[in-house]
C-alpha cells in the first residue's frame, strides 16, 4: 500500500514499475479520443479516463469543458477510485492530456494524483510490459468531491485577470499561433491572443518524452517577461488541455496561486466581439 505522502505530482516510469502491485494504486490512461477495444494497448491494469465523453461537459459549446461536481464524482466512482486511492495518470504522447486529468483531480479536491513522466512512449522505450484492454468491471469507489473553484476560470473570470496587475496570463500555444501567423486548428476560429498574455509553448518544457529538469524548468519560468509583482499565474491554450501542462510544470517549480482558463482561446476567440 502506498501512503499519500509517498506520491508527488510527477513520477517516473521506474517508480511506477516498482509500485505496480500496490493495493491502492490506480493507473489511468487519459489518452484523448482513444478507441478502447481488445486491440488497444495500455500499461497493465490501466483504466480508461475518458476526458472527452465522461470527464467533460459534452452539452457545453466548447470542447473539454469542466464537468459538474456530480458528474466528476460519479464517473470517478465508476472507475473504482476511493478516498485512499493513489492515482497515476498517463497518455500516449509523453505528457499531454494526462496533465489535464491531473488538474481535474486537483480542481475537484483530490491531491493524491501524479502524472507519469514520459507516459506510454517512455514506458515502451524501456521495454516495460504492456497489455491489451479487456472488459473490466470495477467495484464502485467512494471518492468524494471538494470543488476548488478558484483553480479554474471562465470567460468572465479571464476578463478580470486581463485587468489584474497582480496576474499574468501565459499562453501554451505555439509561437506561430500566439503571434497569429497561422490559422487556428479549430475550423472557423479566428486567430488571436488574449490581451496582456505572454507566450510559453508547452513543448519547450520537454526533453524527448519527459519534462526537463526542475532546474531547467525554473529557468524557463524565471526568464519569462513578467513583473515580479505577479502573484497569480493564469494558463491558457487552445481548449484547456495543454494549459494544464504549464500548470503542472509551474507546480513542480513550486509556484503558487495557479489558475487554468478552461475554455482558453477557443472560448475567448469565439465570444469577443
Number of domains in the chain: 2
Q: Residues 155, 254: one domain? A: yes
Among the three residues 147, 170, 200, which one is the final residue of a domain in this structure?
147
Query: Does 67 score more than 90 pLDDT?
Result: yes
Position 229 scores a pLDDT of: 78
Q: Residues 137, 233: one domain? A: no
Position 273 scores a pLDDT of: 79
- The dihedral through the CA atoms of 234, 194, 207, 29 has a sign that is positive
Could you read off the pLDDT of 198-251 as tens digits, one per residue?
A: 999 999 999 999 999 999 999 999 999 887 778 999 999 999 999 999 999 999
Q: Residues 61, 115: one domain? A: yes
Among the three residues 147, 168, 203, which one is the final residue of a domain in this structure?
147
Cα separation, 199 vs 123, in Å, equals: 30
Q: Residues 124, 73: one domain? A: yes
CA angle 51, 52, 53 (to 5 degrees): 100
CB count within 10 Å of CB 173 equals 23
Domain that holds residue 20: 4-147
Q: Which residues are catalytic?
A: 237
- pTM value? 0.97
Cα separation, 113 vs 76, in Å, equals: 13
Could you read off the pLDDT of 183-201 as tens digits, one per residue?
A: 999 999 999 999 999 999 9
Q: Residues 158, 241: one domain? A: yes
Q: Residues 204, 179: one domain? A: yes
Average pLDDT over residues 245-269: 97
Average pLDDT over residues 30-48: 95
CATH value at residue 61: 3.40.250.10
Amino acid at each position: 500500500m502506498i501512503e499519500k505522502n509517498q506520491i508527488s505530482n510527477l513520477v517516473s516510469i521506474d517508480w511506477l514499475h516498482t509500485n505496480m502491485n500496490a493495493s491502492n494504486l490506480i493507473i489511468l490512461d487519459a489518452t484523448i479520443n482513444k478507441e478502447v477495444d481488445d486491440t488497444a494497448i495500455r500499461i497493465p491494469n490501466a483504466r480508461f479516463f475518458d476526458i472527452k465523453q465522461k470527464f467533460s461537459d459534452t452539452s457545453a459549446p466548447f470542447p473539454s469543458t469542466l464537468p459538474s461536481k456530480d458528474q466528476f464524482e460519479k464517473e470517478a466512482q465508476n472507475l473504482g477510485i476511493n478516498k485512499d486511492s493513489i492515482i497515476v495518470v498517463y497518455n500516449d504522447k509523453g505528457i499531454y492530456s494526462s496533465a489535464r486529468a491531473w488538474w481535474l483531480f486537483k480542481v475537484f479536491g483530490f491531491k493524491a494524483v501524479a502524472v507519469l513522466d514520459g507516459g506510454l512512449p517512455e514506458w515502451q522505450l524501456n521495454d516495460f510490459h504492456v497489455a491489451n484492454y479487456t472488459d473490466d468491471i470495477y467495484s464502485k469507489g467512494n471518492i468524494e468531491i471538494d470543488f476548488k473553484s478558484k483553480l479554474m476560470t471562465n470567460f468572465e473570470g479571464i476578463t478580470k485577470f486581463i485587468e489584474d496587475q497582480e496576474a499574468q496570463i501565459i499562453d501554451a500555444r505555439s509561437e506561430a499561433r500566439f503571434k497569429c501567423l497561422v490559422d487556428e486548428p479549430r475550423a472557423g476560429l479566428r486567430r488571436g491572443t488574449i490581451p496582456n498574455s505572454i507566450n510559453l509553448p508547452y513543448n519547450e518544457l520537454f526533453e524527448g518524452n519527459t519534462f526537463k529538469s526542475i532546474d531547467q524548468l525554473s529557468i524557463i519560468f524565471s526568464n519569462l517577461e513578467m513583473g515580479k509583482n505577479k502573484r497569480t499565474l493564469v494558463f491558457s491554450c487552445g481548449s484547456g488541455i495543454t494549459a494544464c501542462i504549464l500548470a503542472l510544470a509551474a507546480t513542480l517549480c513550486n509556484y503558487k496561486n495557479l489558475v487554468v482558463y478552461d475554455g482558453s482561446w477557443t472560448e475567448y476567440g469565439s465570444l469577443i466581439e
